[in-house]
Amino acid sequence: MDGAKFAELRIDGKAFNFPIIIGSEGEKAIDISNLRKETGYITLDPSFANTGACCSEITYIDGERGILRYRGIPIEELAEKRLFIEVAYLLLHGNLPDENQYKQFSILLNEHSLLHEDMRHLFDGFPRGSHPMHIMSTMLNSMATFYPNVDTLSLSEDIDVTATRLISTFRTMAAFAYKKSIGQPPVYPRPDLTYCANFLNMMFDSPVNPYTIDAEIVEVMNLLFILYADHEQNCSTTTVRTIGSAQVNLYATISAGVSALSGPLHGGANQAVIEMLSKIRSGGYSVDQFIEMAKNKNNPVKLMGFGHRVYKNYDPRAKIIKEATVRILKKLDIKDTLLDIAMELESKALSDSYFVERKLYPNVDFYSGILYRALGFPTNMFTVLFALGRLPGWIAHWKEMVSDKNSKIVRPRQIYTGRTLTHLK
Ligand code: ACO
């Protein structure tokens, strides 16, 4: 980074200089950390669309050109050539693991794959039909009671052990939550299976209907988790950094990230896309009517799975998922009319001036739900799958933040617009 240049700000005829920061890919920022101290002014940027909250070495996005890289490596290369746990290691440690590091990481993941047995009883307390994202955030929060001393000040174990336990047990917890929701006994993790194969087996194996592990399905699960693994300062990652900045324990911090992700404008969009496509299929609306509704500013309806705060081009993840969806549906010989509707929606929206002018393209969630359905996942598990993939990213950001000696508690300011001094009568 280069801090040698300055931006000049003039207020009431007086000039102030603020350092210009340039990132390794040329992104430019004005460092206004001393703005209030020097000028008495603050910046106002609701939703933080123009605010850089930190410098980070983890993920690079160029939204105009549709570029996504983890630790400098293009997402397309990682998705094609690597396993999810290698990518998780890359995000957490900065480099892809060598043979020995991979072996050690796999051993740790296996050792920490079991849930504390007493946690199983907690599942019994949730009402029938509870959304698995709510169950997941509650279960994560409870982990600090089973594995205490995980706040940053009293962290009595290595951060990497806690991180590995989270990545491993989250998968077990997600499968247990699903099994509980359908009234089946939980399936325990197996040491002979890889991360994704183990997850699929815990989800779909049953004492009366053994699950057959298919290498191509395991591969696509790896691909999906890799695509979701990080996306720099999105809403849930910002939540993780914000909560973590108060030195809250890592489990509660990640639980907050899961809650943020559950919203339909964020990770919940993959479920909302399927609900939207199903409504169109059941005759609720035609594709054209839905597009008109999404364009109407008096109607709160949006074209779910379209648009992105950062991408003003085709989301590179959506491209890869669309291709995988077509391939897997063909392999499994599934004819899903939701895919036809999605393709028609995409093609009509991309040639409609409303979407073209606003640079609204399919995002990561537009096709993912159709693929999850084909793999056998129920709709309410889609966002849990997103969370499973995003976990290494959240932890990597938390780790980067707590290791930064200059990081402080997050505390934005405001411009007060309420009543001026008003005395009681
Ligand atoms: N359908 C219709 N119009 C849209 C959509 C959409 N999906 N997305 C944005 N627009 C419109 C806005 O209404 C706005 O119109 P205007 O300029 O006339 O006021 C314009 O496009 C610009 O959009 P913004 O509101 O500035 O976009 P913002 O960055 O605030 O929101 C978001 C991004 C939340 C993703 C939005 O595009 C959206 O709600 N999409 C649908 C939900 C979705 O798919 N979410 C998943 C995002 S990816 C993720 O989190 C994993």
Is 222 in contact with 196 (CB distance < 8 Å)?
A: yes
Question: Tens of pLDDT along 174-209?
Answer: 999 999 888 899 999 999 999 999 999 999 999 999
Most confident of 69-73, 123-127, 164-168: 69-73
Percent above pLDDT 70 for the chain: 97
Q: What is the pLDDT of residue 406?
A: 86
Q: What is the pLDDT of residue 128?
A: 85
Is 365 a catalytic site residue? yes
**Alpha carbon of 216 to ligand 1 centroid (Å):** 34
DSSP code string of 270-293: HHHHHHHHHHHHTTSS-HHHHHHH
Mutate to test the pocket of ligand 1, among 64, 271, 358, 367 (most ligand atoms within 8 A of CB): 358
Is 79 in contact with 226 (CB distance < 8 Å)?
A: yes
Question: Tens of pLDDT along 406-419?
Answer: 889 999 999 999 99
Rounded CA-CA distance 343/272 in Å is 16
Q: Which atom of ligand 1 is nearest to the CA of 273?
A: 44
Q: What is the pLDDT of residue 152?
A: 57
Is 308 a catalytic site residue? yes
Rounded CA-CA distance 68/74 in Å is 6
Question: Tens of pLDDT along 251-292?
Answer: 999 999 999 999 989 998 998 999 999 999 998 889 999 999
* Helix (H) or strand (E) segment spanning residue 175: helix 159-181
Ligand 1 interacting residues, C-beta cut-off 6 A: 265-267, 269, 294, 302-309, 358, 360, 363-365
CA-based end-to-end distance of the chain: 58
Region 120-129: what's the mean pLDDT?
89
Q: Spot the catalytic one: 230, 231, 365, 397.
A: 365
**Among protein residues, the one whose CA lies closest to atom 45 of ligand 1:** 265
Question: Tens of pLDDT along 342-393?
Answer: 999 999 999 999 999 999 999 999 999 999 999 999 999 999 999 999 999 9
Residue 157 has pLDDT above 70, yes or no: no
Region 151-164: what's the mean pLDDT?
69
Residues 6+ apart with CB under 8 A from 84: 195, 196, 221, 222, 225, 226, 229, 389
Rounded CA-CA distance 345/367 in Å is 11
- Residue among 259, 256, 229 nearest 245 (CA): 256
Is 388 in contact with 395 (CB distance < 8 Å)?
A: no
Rounded CA-CA distance 24/2 in Å is 9
Residue 57 has pLDDT above 80, yes or no: yes
**Alpha carbon of 254 to ligand 1 centroid (Å):** 25
**Alpha carbon of 255 to ligand 1 centroid (Å):** 25
Rounded CA-CA distance 116/296 in Å is 50
Region 218-234: what's the mean pLDDT?
97
Question: Tens of pLDDT along 39-55?
Answer: 999 999 999 999 999 99
Q: Which atom of ligand 1 is nearest to the CA of 366?
A: 44
Q: Spot the catalytic one: 112, 131, 231, 308.
A: 308
**Among protein residues, the one whose CA lies closest to atom 20 of ligand 1:** 358
**Alpha carbon of 306 to ligand 1 centroid (Å):** 7
- Residue among 412, 409, 360 nearest 47 (CA): 412
Rounded CA-CA distance 97/104 in Å is 10
| Average pLDDT for the chain | 94
Q: What is the pLDDT of residue 150?
A: 65
Mutate to test the pocket of ligand 1, among 273, 306, 359, 382 (most ligand atoms within 8 A of CB): 306
**Among protein residues, the one whose CA lies closest to atom 2 of ligand 1:** 302
**Among protein residues, the one whose CA lies closest to atom 27 of ligand 1:** 309
Is 36 in contact with 16 (CB distance < 8 Å)?
A: no
- What is the reported pTM? 0.93
Rounded CA-CA distance 326/72 in Å is 29
**Among protein residues, the one whose CA lies closest to atom 24 of ligand 1:** 309
b/e map of 74-105 (b: 16 or more CB within 10 Å)?
Answer: ebbebbeebbbbbbbbbbbbeebbeeeeeeeb
Give the pairing of strands 14-22 and 6-11: antiparallel
**Among protein residues, the one whose CA lies closest to atom 49 of ligand 1:** 266
Provide the token pair at 370. 């159709």
- Residue among 185, 171, 195 nearest 82 (CA): 195
How many residues would you count in the chain?
425
Q: How confident is the model at residue 151 (pLDDT cuts 50, 70, 90)?
A: low
**Among protein residues, the one whose CA lies closest to atom 13 of ligand 1:** 297
Residue 3 has pLDDT above 80, yes or no: no
Mutate to test the pocket of ligand 1, among 270, 363, 367, 382 (most ligand atoms within 8 A of CB): 363
Residue 225 has pLDDT above 80, yes or no: yes
Rounded CA-CA distance 6/17 in Å is 6
- Residue among 268, 281, 279 nearest 382 (CA): 268
- Burial category of 67 from C-beta neighbours within 10 Å (exposed 0-12, middle 13-18, buried 19 and up): middle
Is 257 in contact with 396 (CB distance < 8 Å)?
A: no
